[in-house]
Amino acid sequence: MKFQRYKTHSFVRKILEGGTMLHYGAKTIPDNGYFAIPRLTSDGLMLCGDSAGMLNPQRLKGIHLAIKSGLMAAETIYECLKNNDFSAEALKSYQTRFDNSWAREELYKTRNFHAGFKGGLLPGLAHGMFQMMTGGKGLFERRVNKHDHEYMCKLDEYGRHTGKLPEKETIKPDNKYTFDKLTDVYKSGTQHEEEQPSHLVITDTDICNNQCTEEYGNPCRHFCPAQVYEMVDDPDREGKLKLQLTPSNCVHCKTCDIADPYQVIRWVVPQGGEGPNYENM
Ligand SMILES: Cc1cc2nc3c(=O)[nH]c(=O)nc-3n(C[C@H](O)[C@H](O)[C@H](O)COP(=O)(O)OP(=O)(O)OC[C@H]3O[C@@H](n4cnc5c(N)ncnc54)[C@H](O)[C@@H]3O)c2cc1C
Ligand code: SF4
């Protein structure tokens, strides 16, 4: 919604004037930095690029790190092929390669960048400046960061801070500068077979229909860019709402997996080849 509003600002509007929306896409980025990188190998497994959280959180860039880690993984596989051994022990040399590479050095230098914003924008910017002056350390050697969903404010907490509940922001789509979510979904080219088992598994819908409605106001309706989550009238409970899912709309951005405050949404991989079709993007 904020981005839709941003496009209607007179300055941005002028830039977009005469343009046409060709495609639409949405994707989260793994920007928690060095300390969020998991162990990189296991039996028959190596993690590279975004799947390993190798993204420079200060520059929001990860292509070069994905390429570098891919190269190091390829060198490791070459060795493993020669020895016909793909055990965790044999793949350990990938971890060693990463630990000795410029990729690790670059990520280590920005290790506390994201966590620096824990106290808000201004402390985060100040910390970013110290980080540059101290070769990456900043004000602390290691700052523990919470999971993203733990920063979400409950409705009553929000009310306590601001004296009022959040107002729902709405913009009437003009289909020129601003668009509704279903038009966006269409422009993402996403496709899923309607009959396949849902690739979004809700482990406890009771939480969605009761506790979350009361405590957080079902934020999945707002943070999902593809209108997968809707709260509709529950025919069995007068005046109450229940969660309705449309998984075939999903554009695979993974926001729900990360941002759901109760962590009851499990995003699993749908059958092969399904999802958005990001041609020319
Ligand atoms: C909006 C945005 C802007 C960005 N801008 C920049 C930038 O300017 N510069 C920069 O350096 N970085 C940028 N990044 C980050 C960069 O795009 C990523 O760090 C990088 O693409 C990660 O590469 P990857 O190969 O690890 O993962 P990806 O590029 O995500 O590739 C993973 C691939 O695996 C496929 N896949 C997923 N699941 C399955 C499955 N089950 N079976 C088969 N295939 C599967 C996906 O379809 C995808 O093609 C940006 C990211 C975003 C979201
Ligand atoms: S269902 Fe989840 S992964 Fe799919 S588009 Fe919505 S927020 Fe993104």
Q: For the segment 198-219, what is each residue's pLDDT rounded down to a tens digit?
A: 999 999 999 999 999 999 999 9
AA identity, residue 128: G
Checking if the pLDDT of 195 tops 90, the result is no
User: Does the beta carbon of 61 lie inside 6 Å of ligand 1?
Assistant: yes
Strand partners, 122: none
Q: Is 27's C-beta closer than 6 angstroms to any atom of ligand 1?
A: yes
Query: What pLDDT is stored for residue 141 in this prediction?
Result: 80
88-99 vs 63-83: helix axis angle to the nearest 10? 140
Residue 248 contacts residue 182 (beta carbons within 8 Å): no
Can you tell me the mean pLDDT for 12-34? 93
Amino acid code (one letter) for 127 = H
Residue-wise burial string across 164-178, b where 16 or more C-beta atoms lie within 10 A, e elsewhere: eeeeeeeeeeeeebb
154: nearest Cα among 261, 1, 264: 261
**Residue at token pair 């390669």:** 97
Residue minimizing CA distance to atom 1 of ligand 2:
250
Q: pLDDT for 31-74, tens place per residue?
A: 989 999 999 999 999 999 999 999 999 999 999 999 999 999 99
pLDDT tens column, 228-238: 999 999 999 99
Alpha carbon distance 210, 161 (integer Å): 24
Q: What residues does ligand 2 touch, defined as CB less than 6 Å away?
A: 200, 224-226, 228, 250-256, 267
Report the percentage of the chain scoring pLDDT > 90.
72
**200 - beta bridge partners?**
267
Q: Domain 34-145: which topology?
A: FAD/NAD(P)-binding domain (3.50.50)
pLDDT tens column, 68-120: 999 999 999 999 999 999 999 999 999 999 999 999 999 999 998 988 888 88
Q: What pLDDT is stored for residue 157 in this prediction?
A: 87
Parts of the chain belonging to CATH 3.30.70.20: 1-21+146-281
Q: Is 193 helix (H, G, I), strand (E, B) or coil?
A: coil
Total number of residues shown for the chain: 281
pLDDT of 20 above 80: yes
What confidence tens digit (pLDDT) does each residue in 252-281 have?
999 999 999 999 999 999 988 899 998 876
The residue nearest atom 2 of ligand 2, judged by CA position, is 256
CATH topology of domain 1-21+146-281: Alpha-Beta Plaits (3.30.70)
Reduced to 3 states (helix: H, G, I; strand: E, B; else coil), residue 224 is: coil
Q: How much distance in Å is there from the Cα of 91 to the middle of ligand 1?
A: 23
Residue 57: the pLDDT is 93
Mean pLDDT of the chain: 92
* pLDDT of 136 strictly over 80: no
CA 71 – CA 66 distance, rounded (Å) = 9
Handedness of CA 185, 225, 34, 263 (dihedral sign): negative
> Do residues 49 and 62 make contact, with C-beta atoms less than 8 angstroms apart?
yes
Please name the residue whose Cα sits nearest to atom 7 of ligand 2. Answer: 224
pLDDT score, position 181: 95
Q: Decide if pLDDT at 161 tops 80.
A: no
The CATH 3.50.50.60 portion of the chain extends over 34-145
Exposed (0-12), middle (13-18) or buried (19+): which is 251, by Cβ within 10 Å? buried
Q: How far, in Å, from the CA of 258 to the mean position of ligand 2?
A: 10
